Amino acid sequence: METRIAACSCGRLRLNCAGEPASVSLCHCRECQRRTGSSYGIAAFYEREKVSISGEFRDYVRQSDSGYKVTQHFCPHCGGTVFWEPERKPQMLAVAVGAFADPGFPAPAKQVYTEHRPAWLTLPDLI
């Protein structure tokens, strides 16, 4: 089974993710814009038992646009927001696809909160 590694910028927080993600979603919500410092975030959802975590992390809780809480985890050394726990999907961990730094990572199958997508941003049609 293929294992992919997501890591923070300083490399001290690492997630080994076994197998294929259950789903991959591109999110335009404002919280993802703030978290990433970019125009959108991409989340890979994995069943919790497929992810093993090494290194320290801290967390904070935020509200999401959907009304469910999100517990965001980050590296205390570099601040990288590598993974989070969505209250809406308690059996899953969401991993920031950018943290894999792998252009071959499976493409997102959907995009959400497109009402917050910048007008200049064009993306291929996603299902």
Neighbours of 24 (CB within 10 A): 19
Which residues have CB under 8 Å from 117's CB, separation 6+?
28, 39, 40, 111
Interface with Zn ion (CB under 5 A), residue from 4, 6, 8, 50: 8
Neighbours of 111 (CB within 10 A): 17
Position 32 contacts Zn ion (CB under 5 A): yes
- Single-letter residue type at 37: G
Closer CB to Zn ion, 10 or 61, in the complex: 10
Binding mask 35-74 for Zn ion (x = CB under 5 A): ----------------------------------------
Contacting residues toward Zn ion, per CB under 5 A: 8, 10, 12, 27, 29, 32, 75, 77-78, 80
